[in-house]
Amino acid sequence: MRRKLAAGNWKMNGTGSSLSELDTLANLHPNAAVDILICPPATLLGQAAMQVSTSSVSIGAQDCHADTSGAHTGDISAEMVTDVGATAVILGHSERREDHNEDSELVRIKARAAHAAGLTAIICLGESEAQRDAANTLDIIAGQLAISTPDTATADNTVIAYEPIWAIGTGKVPTLVQIAEVHDFIREKLTSRFGPEIGNAIRLLYGGSVKPTNADDIFTVSNVDGALVGGASLKATDFSPIITALEGATI
C-alpha cells in the first residue's frame, strides 16, 4: 500500500519568523499516519531541516540545479540540498517551466541529479486552460511524464504531482472525474514503462487549489496518494485539516 504524502510548497513566501509554523504543524501531528513535507524557500532550508529533525515533518527544496557544482550564480545543487538536511525537491513546477523557460528535458536531468544526491524528486506535470479546452490534456501529460521522468525513477526516489496550471491559486478545481482520469492515465503510463512493481508503487499527488473544504472529496479519487499544496500550506492551521483528511483516507 502506498503511504500517503501531504506536501506543502511555500513558494517565495516566508522568513525566519515563519518557521514557527513548523513547530505548530509538528505539534498538531506528532504521530502522523501520512508523510508530511514542507518545501520552504532556499534561504530557510537549513534552519527548517534542523528545526524538524526530531519531528514528523520533513523538509524539501523547491528546485535544484542539474550540475553538482560550477559557475551558476544564485543556483543550488542537489548535493547542497541534501547537505542541509532536506530529503526531497520539487522539479518542473509550472511556475518554473513558465517563469524560467524550463522544459521537460531539463526537468529529467535535474531529477537524475536529485536521485544521485539521495533526494526524492517530486516531478510536476500539468496542462494550461487552453490545452484543457482543446481536449489535449492527456497528450500534454503523456509528453511531460515521458520526458521529465528519468530511467532512474523508483518508488523510493520519485513522486509525480499532477497540477493543472489553470487550477493553481485560482480557486478553480477539476471535477473528481477529471482528476481520476488524469491520475489513472499517469498510473497506466508508469506501469507500462517501469513495470507493475515500480509503476504501481510510485505515489501520485494532486495539486491545484486544494483546501480543507475540498480535500476530503479529492482524497477519495482513485490513484490520488496525497496533495501538493501551495497557499494553504503556509499556515499550520490551514494545512492541518488537509493532513487530517488525508489520514482519514488511509483508513
pLDDT tens profile 19-60: 999 999 999 999 999 999 999 999 999 999 999 999 999 999
C-alpha cell at 251: 483508513
Distance, CA of 183 to CA of 221 (rounded, Å)? 9
Q: In which band, very low, low, confident or very high, does the pLDDT at 173 lie, cut at 50, 70 and 90?
A: confident
| Per annotation, catalytic residue among 29, 65, 93, 183 | 93
Q: Where are the alpha helices (DSSP H) in 200-235?
A: 212-218
Rounded Cα–Cα distance for residues 140 and 58 (Å): 31
- The proportion of the chain whose per-residue pLDDT surpasses 90, expressed as a percent, equals 96
115 is catalytic: no
Beta strands in 126-165 (DSSP E): 158-162
What integer is the mean pLDDT of 217-240? 97
Q: Which CATH class is domain 5-249?
A: alpha beta
